[in-house]
Amino acid sequence: MRLLLLSNSTNAGQTYLQHALPHIQPFLQTTEESEALFIPYAGVTITPDEYTSRVREKFESMNIRLISVHQTNDPVKAVMNAHVIVVGGGNTFQLINMLQKNFLLEPIKERILKGIPYIGWSAGANSACPTICTTNDMPIVQPASFDALNLIPFQINPHYLDKNPDGHAGETREMRILEFLELNPDISVIGLREGSLLLYEEHKLSLIGNKPVRIFQKGKMPFELSPGDNMQFLLHSGN
């Protein structure tokens, strides 16, 4: 498998995908990967055409042609013929709901397991996990299940924040993740901060960016890993 999983699409003070393009371009380095299939299903307040246009502009700047699954006559066939799959962020529940309704979860997984690159940010990163249970999103729709692509054996919490805004006394992100671990004790969770990316290729997991990730495991104190640290143990997380 080859995976590039991003916490977010836009860093404060930067343009859309600006922080990610220097990592996406070398990730897609063979001539066979000059076309990518985009999945815009997570977009809710943006139309699929608008979303595709926004992402297409960025990929074309890298000389990569982008087509959207919603503009194809046969989404399953489009996935099975794809050289690269790109899944944008938005609402994770809507994303999984649409993937299920279009019967795309298994075809996407099949293609990824055969080695084509997968790029996902926010909801797209959540979808690479066993389930979407560590998303931050509101369940605005009810998918058939919370099961996701299960490409990796751990969960991701994108946009991870260490504390709540001033004046807010509710649960912190850490508290919510610890609740997840209480009922799912056999799986690790990565708190992926803004601007951070996870790269998986050649059976190796690595962190990209200038921020550490926070690791949550049942029965252990949460701890930090920085870029360059060994993360291989996370590939043995889960059932």
Scanning the structure block, which residue is given the tokens 């944008």? 88
- Per the prediction, the chain carries an average pLDDT of 93
| C-alpha span between 6 and 120 (Å, rounded) | 6
Quick one: average pLDDT of 86-104? 97
Q: What is the pTM of this model?
A: 0.94
141 CA to centre of own chain: 19
Residue 238 has pLDDT above 60, yes or no: no
Which of the residues 7, 68, 122, 196 is marked catalytic?
122
Q: How many CB atoms lie within 10 A of CB 33?
A: 16
| C-alpha span between 47 and 200 (Å, rounded) | 31
Residue 239 banded pLDDT, cuts 50, 70, 90: very low
Which of the residues 9, 19, 70, 137 is marked catalytic?
137
219: which strand partners?
A: none
- pLDDT at residue 162, as a whole number: 83
Quick one: average pLDDT of 203-231? 96
Residue 32 banded pLDDT, cuts 50, 70, 90: low
For residue range 99-158, list pLDDT tens digits in order: 999 999 999 999 999 999 999 999 999 999 999 999 999 999 999 999 999 999 999 999
For residue range 177-186, list pLDDT tens digits in order: 999 999 999 9
For residue range 159-178, list pLDDT tens digits in order: 998 876 677 656 788 999 99
- pLDDT at residue 81, as a whole number: 95
Please tell me the CATH superfamily of domain 2-152+192-211, with its number.
Class I glutamine amidotransferase (GATase) domain (3.40.50.880)
Helices (H), the chain: 21-27, 48-60, 75-80, 92-101, 105-113, 123-126, 173-183
- Active site (annotated) includes residue 34: no
- Active site (annotated) includes residue 162: no
- Active site (annotated) includes residue 196: no
Domain ranges of the chain: 2-152+192-211
Which of the residues 23, 53, 147, 159 is marked catalytic?
159
